[in-house]
A and B are shown apart, each in its own frame.
Chain A
Amino acid sequence: MVEERRPLLRFDGLSAGYGRRLVLNRISLSVPERSVTALVGANGSGKTTLLRVLLGLIKPRAGRIEYTLGERPRIGYVPQIDSSEVRFPVNAREVVIMGLTPSRGLLRRISPVDRRSVDEAMHIFRVDDLADRPFRAMSGGQRQRVMLARALVSRPELLVLDEPVRGLDLASASRLVARIDSLAQERGMTILVATHSLDLVANQADHVALFSEGRIEAGPAEHILSDEVMTRYHGMPVYVREVEGQLVVVPGHVDGAPRHAHRARRIARPAEERAP
């Protein structure tokens, strides 16, 4: 059970879109402080649009964002990995240093304190040994960690992640999620994450907002991640089960689809029981 926390910010009756297309239609959502809030939905469902409104990249057509502390919190942002620019001949350290740019004076050089912050952020995401490597020569996972270090170096109160594990293999994604989770707990940051990955949501999020056709259904993770809500949201049987202490979201049988019971049984058996 997640303790009740006061919201860091609240979207109140927010509508937004592009051109004539309305993507978000009068949605309201609270983001509790010092928690992980996940925005889950299919492509085009509006989760990235909500983030873009929050980041000031597009203006809402109606509604507003209320900040509990009265002013916008310091934000760290990690965009989708495939949106990163790889033509620039910058190395990993130069990318991380960019995170300090808004807080630096126009003509001020990087101070020793700034350098220590950069080193620390790179160390946390284990990219300190890649500091001089060209950004364009890095793998997707390495780039994502460099972007996270850049977000962290600005000492954010709110960390916004857009599809942080998209395109990553299972191992890289698991390690990255664990790192973000521990960071949130250590530093007491509020994390807002947009994702397709229900498994990521199931095990890390305190609050979940399901996006569908411009509307949302939001609440504590234990409420949203139930068979009933998941089945209603997906329009097909979906089960939430616990395996070795981890929640997994499993699709049920779809009418008309062939059963692969023999394959499922083979996979479910422990490895030592399987024939070589």
Chain B
Amino acid sequence: MSDWLLGTPLAPIPGAVAAGIVAGTLLPLLGMWVVLQRVVFLGITLAQLAAAGVALGLVLGLPALTMGALLTAAGVVGLTAAGRGRVADAGDSQLGALFCVASALALLFVSRSAGDLDQVDHVLHGNLVYADMDDVRIVGATLLLCVLATLATFPRILFCTFDPDTATALGLKAPRWLLFLFFVLAAALSVSMRTTGSLLTFAMLVLPPLAALQLKRGLRTSFVLASTLGLVGTLAGLFVAVSADLHVESSIVVTLFATFAVCSGFARRWWIGTALLAACVGGGVLLAQDGVSEPSAHEHLHDMAAEDASGESHAPYHLDLELAGRATPEGDLAVSWTLDVHCVTGPDALPPQLWLVLTGDGGLSEEHELLHEMQSLPVGDSRHTGTFGVPGQGGVHRIDGQLWTGSLEGADSLPLEPERFAVLGADVQR
């Protein structure tokens, strides 16, 4: 996955890219049903209920995803009763009331949990940057199952959403099929919530379908377009966010809205669409360049290292390591790392192996191999990324580290000279 990202600004966050691709492609396929039934407000209410459920799970120490799905499903049942058997018929007033209480409960629940403000931010706004491959697998498998469930029942769901009265008259149990659809949505929303947060989840659910429907194509083409626009908007948002050092989830929401605006433009006049597209691409490029021109934390680190190295004009190599940590719901510590290797004189000067002694508060000291056979690396710059987990260390607040070479257990192991490397530690995210 991360190989093709090398050399792009997205290379340090392969997990976020993978999670973004999965959610950005699959959520719009479910969101089409929300938009077609004109129950967008219902969609955001369910997303907020899922957030409240996840938060409740964090407070009670129960599985957050299960709690999110359960609370959303309970909301679907309640709204079905309010809508006299049809969840989509629930009134605006009932939806508004439920939305308010779900938003408030999400805040109350996370404020009672140990993580406090970090968790508020995580649940409500997501934490895509720290998504690891385990997150991607869970979100991907769940969303894929949800999409397959709607594909297998596509003709029935289509008939029951298009004309529920006639579907019932002809013998289909439309309320049950609609209930099934919203249970599927509940599962999808609650699982996505943990990775993408309520705002981005809702945006991925409705903005790409709204954009696709602007283009007034056929049914199947609209579904494919929604998925494609979701993917394009997500990748564009990630690119702009990382390049310009912006909040990732908010940037994706804005680029998804930009796809909607561009599609609306094309739906009216081709030149309006073209102008909007040019404006959006131009704005994104300017933002990205602006971000590059200002030294980011990572570049600052690199510059400091270069200054250190400048005292030794013949420094054969320099290593920059950037760490990121996240506490998982299971109480483990997930660590992602990005290593920039600046090989000046030749690979022979590089240490043969490289491993990290990860340190942290509470006496954390954990060894992990980062690279072996370093001497096969090319002259010049190369970037390497990876993730690993440290079981039972979810309570650590800050991580740092030192680089060592030699074999892990061997007597030849020794720390690298301090002027050869720089490690940027990080606060552990919750």
Contact = CB atoms under 8 A, between A and B. Distances in A.
B1 interface: no
Interface string A58-96: 000000000000000001111100011101111100110
Contact of A98 (B158, B165, B216): B158
Contact of A55 (B155, B156, B165, B217): B165
A85 B167 contact: no
B169 A85 contact: no
B169 A104 contact: no
Contacts of B170: 75-77, 99, 101-102, 154
B36 interface: yes
A94 B168 CA distance: 18
19 contacts: A57-B165, A57-B169, A75-B171, A78-B166, A79-B166, A84-B163, A87-B38, A88-B36, A88-B161, A90-B158, A90-B218, A90-B219, A91-B218, A98-B162, A98-B167, A102-B167, A102-B170, A104-B155, A107-B152
A134 interface: yes
A160 interface: yes
Given A87-B38, A98-B155, A102-B172, A77 B166 contact: yes
B153 interface: yes
B168 A55 contact: yes
B222 interface: yes
A63 B216 CA distance: 47
Contacts of B38: 87
A25 to B, nearest CB: 21
Nearest to A80: B165
A94 B219 contact: yes
Interface residues of B, number: 26
Interface string B186-207: 0000000000000000000000
The 3 closest A-B pairs by CB, nearest first: A55-B169, A77-B169, A102-B171
A101 B166 CA distance: 11
Contacts of A104: 155
A106 interface: yes
Contacts, number: 80
A56 interface: yes
B216 A89 contact: yes
A21 B36 CA distance: 32
A77 B171 CA distance: 11
Interface size classification for chain A: 20 to 34
Contact of A77 (B158, B165, B219): B165
A75 B162 contact: no
Given A76-B170, A98-B155, A89 B162 contact: no
Residue from B38, B153, B167 whose CB has the most chain A CB atoms within 10 Å: B167
A151 B172 CA distance: 14
Contacts of A55: 165, 168-169
Interface in B308-366: none
A57 B155 contact: no
A112 B156 CA distance: 20
B314 to A, nearest CB: 67
Interface in A39-63: 52, 55-57
B149 to A, nearest CB: 11
Contacts of A102: 159, 167, 170-172
Contacts of B162: 85, 88, 90, 95, 98
B258 interface: no
A47 to B, nearest CB: 15
A154 B152 CA distance: 22
Residue from B163, B167, B172, B218 whose CB has the most chain A CB atoms within 10 Å: B163
Interface string B164-184: 011111111000000000000
A98 B219 contact: no
A83 B171 contact: no
B131 interface: no
Contacts of A90: 158, 162, 218-219
Given A83-B165, A99-B170, 11 more contacts: A56-B168, A56-B169, A84-B163, A85-B162, A88-B219, A90-B219, A98-B158, A106-B152, A106-B153, A150-B166, A160-B169
B36 A87 contact: yes
Contacts of A97: 155
B240 interface: no
B232 interface: no
A227 B151 CA distance: 58
Nearest to B157: A101
A94 B158 CA distance: 10
A94 B219 CA distance: 9
A101 B217 contact: no
B219 A101 contact: no
A75 B172 CA distance: 12
Contacts of B161: 88
Residue from A89, A90, A160 whose CB has the most chain B CB atoms within 10 Å: A89
Nearest to A107: B152
Interface in A91-146: 91, 94-95, 97-99, 101-102, 104, 106-107, 134
Contact of A89 (B156, B159, B166, B218): B218
A134 B161 CA distance: 17
B163 to A, nearest CB: 6
Interface string B214-228: 001111011000000
A68 B161 CA distance: 32
Contact of B169 (A75, A89, A134): A75
A52 B168 CA distance: 10
Nearest to B153: A106
Contacts of B213: 87, 89
B104 to A, nearest CB: 31
Contacts of A151: 166
A98 B36 contact: no
Contacts of A88: 36, 158, 161-162, 219
Nearest to B172: A102
B252 to A, nearest CB: 25
A233 B5 CA distance: 79
